[in-house]
Amino acid sequence: MAIKASVEEIEEDYGTFDAADFAASALSSAASLAAVIDHTLLKPEATRPQVIQLCKEAAEHHFACAMVNPVWVSVAVKELCGTGVPVGVVLGFPLGASLTSTKRQEAQALVKLGAHDLDMVLSVGLLKSGNLSAIERDIRAVAEVAHDNGAILKVILETCLLTVEEKLRASEVAINAGTDFLKTSTGFSTSGATVADVAILRGVAGARCGVKASGGIRTLEDTKAMLEAGANRIGASAGVKILQELFG
């Protein structure tokens, strides 16, 4: 697969995303900022009361979604019914090393339960083995399930484990396979989102799909930096705190 020579060349081919304008709009009010934050609770030890509290906060502030582990989707769907806030869920998480058939079946089960945002982990091992066709099939299998059921797909690249060339290749493959967002990180590997990685993903995406920055975003300053780098979705467990920082 050919790699574009530069971000400028990519943007010329695929349109541009005005990160500065988007960031200014998102940071203009608490409501605008909440609308781009996936309010997240993915700790393995998370309890039912904690998930319910997450959903109450998501409904109160009208976050982009409440992001939970698969076991809590039914609870979250019930709690958020009638609020207009969708349920997000991770799959193939956190390693991305499940069989494609397993990921597809998981996606089918999750959308049936009512999940709207599916955040899928890319198979890093396949990428590093150079098997791009297998990665594309893996992602497309889940993208088809998502789109056939009115859901959206975000593909987690786990950028901290990738070279620059791998980030470029993975981004292009994911877009070709039908992802709605490129996402930086699970938050469970060696590090999380960086400004540089968000810029790389946006450079490949142009205006073709969204970019979600996730992993280690804990402050308003972190959020602002990611938005200005090209993210149009933020994954964070500190969403309420970030909103409180916006206007003191």
Q: Are 207 and 17 contacting, i.e. CB atoms less than 8 angstroms apart?
A: yes
| DSSP helix/strand/coil, 157 | coil
| Catalytic-residue membership of 119 | yes
What single-letter DSSP state applies at residue 3?
-
Burial of residue 10 (number of CB atoms within 10 Å: 0-12, 13-18, 19+):
buried
Q: DSSP E strands: which ranges in the chain?
A: 37-40, 65-68, 87-91, 117-121, 152-156, 181-183, 210-214, 233-236
Annotated catalytic residue within 119, 138, 180, 222: 119
Active-site residue, selected from the candidate residues 38, 154, 212, 222: 212
Choose the catalytic residue: 117, 183, 197, 222.
183
19-50 exposure pattern, b = at least 16 Cβ within 10 A, e = fewer: beebbeebbeeeeebbebbbbbbbeeebeeee
CA distance 183 to 170: 11
For 177, the 3-state DSSP assignment is: coil
Q: Which residue carries 């349109």 as its tokens?
A: 15
Catalytic residue at 38? no
Annotated catalytic residue 212: yes
Q: Count of residues for the chain? A: 248
* 3-state SS assignment for residue 64: coil
For the annotated catalytic residues, the residue numbers are: 119, 183, 212
